[in-house]
Structure 1
Amino acid sequence: MSSKSLEKISQESSPIDLPNEELHPGHLDDYLREGERWATEEDMSMLRRVGDRIPTAAFFVVLTEFCERFTYYGITGPFQNYIQNGYKVPNSNPGAIGGGQHLATGLSNFFQFWCYLTPILGAVIADQYLGKFKTIVVFSIIYIVGDLILTLTSIPSSIRHGGALPGLVIAMITIGLGTGGIKSNVSPMVAEQYGRYRPFVRTLKNGTQVVVDRELTVQSIFNWFYWAINVGGLSAIATTEIEANVDFWPAYLLPTLMFVICVIVFVLGRKRYVITKPTGSIVIKAYKVFVTGLRNYRRAKAENRLILDEDGKKISWMDYAKPSLALDGGSVGWTDKFVDELRTALRSCKVMAIYPLFWLCYNQMSNNMVSQAGQMNTGNVPNDIMQNIDPLCIIVLIPIFDRLIFPGFRRIGLELRPVTRITIGFLVAALAMAYAAILQHFVYKTEPYFDAAGDGDNGFNHISAAIQVPAYILIAISEIFASVTGLEYAYKRAPESMKSIVMSIFLFTNAGGSILGFCFNSISANPHLVENFAIVSGLMGGGTIVFFICFRHYDNREAEELKKNTVFEKESPKVGYTADE
């Protein structure tokens, strides 16, 4: 069925809900429904831009991500106590291994690193062999195996006989492999479920006309995708309570059972999904492009025959890998378009260079800030429950930002484009760490244990953990601006053939944050936590300045490229729009 046929159907009948497979750009051009028409440049400049309705298939993927994150945060929530404290020690926080804060923070950073290194493997397997859907299913099975290992080795007899630590390490490796294969593919898959690419005008029930913009729809999809992640993250409230009041093995059994449900839900939705087939891994092909481009560029330079573009400027060294230039004198396994797409992907990856510093800040929440809460009066709740303030804030704030704050800025002509949003997120993360440093200073100045609170059999100082709340609120706000936008940017700026690999590179920046965390291991304990938080804050603040200086022009360039690449109708009927609408 052609796009013209669909347009005719939509004009002659009521709106129809067609299967997503039929609407995917690989199968069919964009289409119109009743009450819609293609947008013109005049429409884009005069009418209010809005996001479209999110398709049902996308909600299935979002629900799957919710279940996976429920499992992930449910098992990682108790990790710091599980590793740091001894088993059934009187008048102490819950524990199992008794390895101390250094080992707890080190293993936590290792797990974070591993979980965000493996997405590269998941992306390669999806692109080369299985496709996103099958890759997610296969790695989900691996994930379940890891969950079972963790649950079985956390039973009391295993802990008492020394099985907890080796079991934890094996489970971390297995779960990290599973989550890597899922994360690199579920994020681009959720956005792929929306198959409309051209902007169009829709008439609302009140007669107002608006432009439905794919860019805003994708932004909204990732906002709700991240919202589901943080709803799932609340599982740590349940598991830390179970850990404190029952034991660790039922705390780990709950998220294990949830993940089984996750796999079932995901598979049940398979008939609704836009499922893209593997197109071949671009990693090896990209490597060959780089080698060919550099070799041909050096040869052209040595022979004084560099090529100029239409503006009289020297072309990029990557352009020398294009088959159209035929500098190699033979056929290659790529096209000119692939070289251009690869350059676009590399440009988007540059924006990710400062993200390891952001994740260094974020990871403090699951290790050193948990230990900080252990030095304070938490009342009748476990110290590691405090980190759940972050997802609670995100759950409340994302709908506010998505429905009110971001549209409000657009209404007054101050649209917050990606680089601007990321810069704000980085700055707020730096402020969160500065607050944590100041708070730690007051913890150390408070009796009765001062800078030894929470060490060994020591209890807490007489200072309420409630004053940690502003730090978690700031971290939540920074995530909405930096983390959500990073996911969105990685997807939007990556060419169709490279979305999984670019997404995996974005996720790898989290592994970079964990590597940086290892560098702070020597000061990730009393009495050095003030220096730890202060240095992290300073690095993030400096990184924010560098990021803005280097990439501030990207927002304007992206807007120009979007306008250039968008297909508009030449003329449109009178829209009947006023500036007050």
Structure 2
Amino acid sequence: MKDAEEYQKRHTSRWVTSILILIQAKLIDLASSSNSTVFAEPPILSLTEVRHLRRVVDHIPLRLWAVALIGFWERFTFWGLTAPWQNYMENELDSRNGIPGALGLGQAQATRIYCAFYIFYYISPLVFAILSDTRLGRYKTLCITTIVYVLGCAAVTATSFDRPLRAGLGLPGLLIGMLLVGLGGGGFKMLMVPFLADQYANDHPKMKTLKSGEQVITDRSLTLQYIFNLYYWVGNVGSLSWFATTIIERYVSFALAYMITLVSMVLATVVLFLGARWYIQVPPGGNILPTASRIIICASRNGFNMKRADPSYQLEHRGKSVPWSGQSVDELRRGLMACRVLLPFVMFYVCFDQMQNNLVSQAKQMQSGGIPNDMIPALNGIACIILGPIIQYLLYPFLYQRRIHFRPVARITTGFAFMALGMLYTAVLQHFIYSAGPCYSKPLACPHLWDTVKETPDGFSGQQGNYVNIWWQTPVYFFIGAGEIFALVTSLEYAQEHAPDGMKAIVQAISLVLAGFGSVFAMALTPIAHDPYLVALYSSIAVAMTVTTVIFWWLFHGYDEEEILKDNEAFGLDGTTDARKDEPGRQLDESILRSGPRPLSQNSMVTVTTYQELDAMRPQPVATGNMDNHGIRPLTPVREFSLQGGS
């Protein structure tokens, strides 16, 4: 009887095993027919296989596109709302020169108010940043900012109708609206970057096979770069509202232009609230500001050296224990390093601010042909829409295929250079405006010419500026657009990646505070922001931006090299091989790759689980052996695996 039971158990076990084998075989067949396969177990891959796989952008989840849509409506609101402000403040309600206006404050005063708004817009997010990182979390804080934002848009809209304007409510209503929009819009802008990054939750690389049969590895760094460029591109599509509101402002009214932006912000708020259960909501990490403050104080007492705030150093050299970890010190050091890199953006924003005020006034001094002068800055959005895909899909892959690592500091330096070129072009253009008639260095200051301005059913026609066509401003906005893509988008990525987990919103807020300082300096320039000193103004800004670019590269270009070295050290690359240069013809000896203390040979196998390890195994050009057209050994066929469990 006992033998029969034992036989029955063995017989049943064999059937179960057979069934499991059949199921496993079926799953393998199904997986092999798809584009890529993901297994739960990390693979064992040879160094040669992993090092020569191309790194690609990961799949973008649908919820991230929804967040990008919110960003689209918010940017539609912001640029559509602020675009008419310079004319709204500068020109009179019934101006004889045919340029729309409402408050009649003049160029200098309007520019001061505009700059003051941006100062507040950039500085106010600090309150929301602390609230987000320590108390409410990013999503709840973001919801609060949108409500404040909507109230600001409503205040501007309600007081821009003809009756409130003639009753003297235009300026108070605008100032209240600026206060609320600056508070809500600044908080929204600061929180959207980390909230957007939260929606991409995959922290581990995966290996997959494309439809072409090529095997590649997903890369978090490339994916985040793509996400931020996508977000910025979508935002610039939204900024095309600039065209709509400035045309409506000229041919209908300011009130209708502002009402459209109010509706668009309501739409953004609705999409944000409806997705509450869908979005990834990272809880607040607790208040780490007291710990960060103690670490900084400890470092300042030790020669302002963050490494000396490390617990091991304090215990060995000071004989005392500290209540923080070495990891906390390292994260804070990286966050402070990011803030140092962002500091030169003060001058960048001085240049950027010219687009929203003085360049609008410059367009007014030119021959417009009936085009609203404050519509021309919308060309900046078009420039970003055109240049963004070219840079993302053509330039970056072109450089990557040739082992040219266009690291963050190099990209920011390039953006600074483009911004300097933009200001230089503006100065030259202003010189040509002053050199042209009929008013020369005093455009629009020829009263006898105002009689040639006639009102028609389509608006105004006649002499409106010196004999320089308004479209000569176009290159300025393309220079500024290139500067934004290279420098501004990279700064978002850099701040997000280098900030400690509990301070991501705070570091983003600090970057906006620096932009606020840029607006402070721009405001300081308003005493000379009028004719005939504008050539000197733009020339000074161009020189200052050029000097900033040179100093920035001189101070921080080593950070790019440190990034590469850190990636190499993460997998044990020592200094015997100059992996930083990646010059064609160099060969990386794989015997120097290490896993722990033991060196690995050519045929050694490793388990890859982090992006740092993948970066350490970046493809290197070789001097000998079978190579393809790019000087790289052909890929050895490998199996499809996930480099970390889960998808």
Indicate the TM-score class for this superposition, using the shorter chain for normalisation.
0.7 to 0.9
Determine helix, strand or coil for the equivalent of 2:406. coil
Higher helix content, 1 or 2: 1
Judging changes above 3 Å, is the alpha-carbon distance between structure 1 residues 383 and 39 closer, same or farther for their aligned structure 2 residues?
farther
1:155 aligns to what?
161
1:470 aligns to what?
475
1:211 aligns to what?
217
Q: Alignment partner for residue 364 of structure 1, among 336, 339, 354?
A: 354
Q: In 2, distance between residues paired with 1:65 and 1:479?
A: 17
Answering whether residue 344 of structure 2 is matched by residue 344 of structure 1, we say no
Letter in 2 for 1:104: A
1:365 and 1:387 in contact (8 A); partners too: yes
Determine helix, strand or coil for the equivalent of 1:52. coil
1:322 and 1:336 in contact (8 A); partners too: no
Q: In 2, distance between residues paired with 1:36 and 1:365?
A: 51
Letter in 2 for 1:256: L
Larger Rg: 2
Q: Alignment partner for residue 277 of structure 1, among 276, 280, 283?
A: 283
Q: In 2, distance between residues paired with 1:527 and 1:153?
A: 34
Aligned residue runs from structure 1 range 5-84, under 5 A: 32=38, 42-43=48-49, 45-84=51-90
Answering whether residue 94 of structure 2 is matched by residue 88 of structure 1, we say yes
1:426 aligns to what?
416
1:37 and 1:201 in contact (8 A); partners too: no
Letter in 1 for 2:209: T
2:315 and 2:321 in contact (8 A); partners too: no
Answering whether residue 186 of structure 2 is matched by residue 195 of structure 1, we say no
Q: Alignment partner for residue 231 of structure 1, among 237, 244, 254?
A: 237
Q: In 1, distance between residues paired with 2:80 and 2:500?
A: 34
Answering whether residue 525 of structure 2 is matched by residue 520 of structure 1, we say yes
Q: State the Cα distance separating 1:148 from its structure 2 match.
A: 0.7
2:152 aligns to what?
146
Unaligned runs of 5+ residues in structure 2 are 1-23, 451-463, 573-594, 596-604, 609-618, 620-625, 635-647
Letter in 2 for 1:232: G
Judging changes above 3 Å, is the alpha-carbon distance between structure 1 residues 525 and 36 closer, same or farther for their aligned structure 2 residues?
farther
Q: Alignment partner for residue 242 of structure 1, among 209, 228, 248?
A: 248
Aligned residue runs from structure 1 range 501-512, under 5 A: 501-512=506-517
Determine helix, strand or coil for the equivalent of 1:346. helix
1:387 aligns to what?
377
Moved more, 234-243 or 502-511: 502-511
Determine helix, strand or coil for the equivalent of 2:74. helix
Judging changes above 3 Å, is the alpha-carbon distance between structure 1 residues 33 and 463 closer, same or farther for their aligned structure 2 residues?
farther
Question: What's the CA shift string for 1:263-312, capped at 9, x where partnerless?
Answer: 111122222322110112333432232224434x37xx9xxxxxxxxxxx
2:70 and 2:272 in contact (8 A); partners too: yes
1:96 and 1:159 in contact (8 A); partners too: yes
Q: In 2, distance between residues paired with 1:9 and 1:420?
A: 50
Q: Alignment partner for residue 99 of structure 1, among 70, 94, 105?
A: 105
Answering whether residue 266 of structure 2 is matched by residue 260 of structure 1, we say yes
1:489 aligns to what?
494
Q: In 2, distance between residues paired with 1:273 and 1:38?
A: 34
TM-score for the superposition, normalised by structure 1: 0.87
Judging changes above 3 Å, is the alpha-carbon distance between structure 1 residues 226 and 455 closer, same or farther for their aligned structure 2 residues?
farther
Judging changes above 3 Å, is the alpha-carbon distance between structure 1 residues 294 and 242 closer, same or farther for their aligned structure 2 residues?
same
Q: In 2, distance between residues paired with 1:189 and 1:206?
A: 34
Determine helix, strand or coil for the equivalent of 1:93. coil
Question: What's the CA shift string for 1:431-490, capped at 9, x where partnerless?
Answer: 110000000000011111112214596631111011111111111111111111111111
Letter in 2 for 1:511: G
Q: State the Cα distance separating 1:69 from its structure 2 match.
A: 1.0
1:149 and 1:167 in contact (8 A); partners too: yes
Answering whether residue 544 of structure 2 is matched by residue 539 of structure 1, we say yes
Alignment: residue pair count:
542
2:44 and 2:606 in contact (8 A); partners too: no
Unaligned runs of 5+ residues in structure 1 are 1-6, 16-30, 302-313
Q: Alignment partner for residue 319 of structure 1, among 286, 310, 316?
A: 310
1:430 and 1:540 in contact (8 A); partners too: yes
Question: What's the CA shift string for 1:163-207, capped at 9, x where partnerless?
Answer: 111111111111101012212211011112112223332211121
1:11 and 1:33 in contact (8 A); partners too: no
1:18 aligns to what?
none
Judging changes above 3 Å, is the alpha-carbon distance between structure 1 residues 71 and 565 closer, same or farther for their aligned structure 2 residues?
farther
Q: In 2, distance between residues paired with 1:227 and 1:552?
A: 27
Answering whether residue 466 of structure 2 is matched by residue 461 of structure 1, we say yes
Judging changes above 3 Å, is the alpha-carbon distance between structure 1 residues 326 and 499 closer, same or farther for their aligned structure 2 residues?
farther
Q: State the Cα distance separating 1:88 from its structure 2 match.
A: 2.1
Judging changes above 3 Å, is the alpha-carbon distance between structure 1 residues 329 and 553 closer, same or farther for their aligned structure 2 residues?
closer
Judging changes above 3 Å, is the alpha-carbon distance between structure 1 residues 363 and 41 closer, same or farther for their aligned structure 2 residues?
farther
1:22 aligns to what?
none
Q: In 2, distance between residues paired with 1:9 and 1:83?
A: 71
1:142 and 1:174 in contact (8 A); partners too: yes
Judging changes above 3 Å, is the alpha-carbon distance between structure 1 residues 287 and 74 closer, same or farther for their aligned structure 2 residues?
same
1:289 and 1:318 in contact (8 A); partners too: yes
Q: State the Cα distance separating 1:140 from its structure 2 match.
A: 0.7
- Root-mean-square deviation (CA, aligned residues, Å) is 3.0
Question: What's the CA shift string for 1:299-337, capped at 9, x where partnerless?
Answer: xx9xxxxxxxxxxxx9734336988679696774x4332
2:183 aligns to what?
177
Q: Percentage identity across aligned positions?
A: 35
Q: In 1, distance between residues paired with 2:553 and 2:115?
A: 28
Q: State the Cα distance separating 1:11 from its structure 2 match.
A: 6.5
Q: State the Cα distance separating 1:352 from its structure 2 match.
A: 0.8
Q: Alignment partner for residue 227 of structure 2, among 221, 226, 231?
A: 221
2:366 and 2:467 in contact (8 A); partners too: yes
Judging changes above 3 Å, is the alpha-carbon distance between structure 1 residues 329 and 269 closer, same or farther for their aligned structure 2 residues?
same
2:439 and 2:446 in contact (8 A); partners too: no
Answering whether residue 606 of structure 2 is matched by residue 570 of structure 1, we say yes
2:431 aligns to what?
441
1:39 and 1:200 in contact (8 A); partners too: no
Judging changes above 3 Å, is the alpha-carbon distance between structure 1 residues 553 and 90 closer, same or farther for their aligned structure 2 residues?
same
Determine helix, strand or coil for the equivalent of 1:49. strand
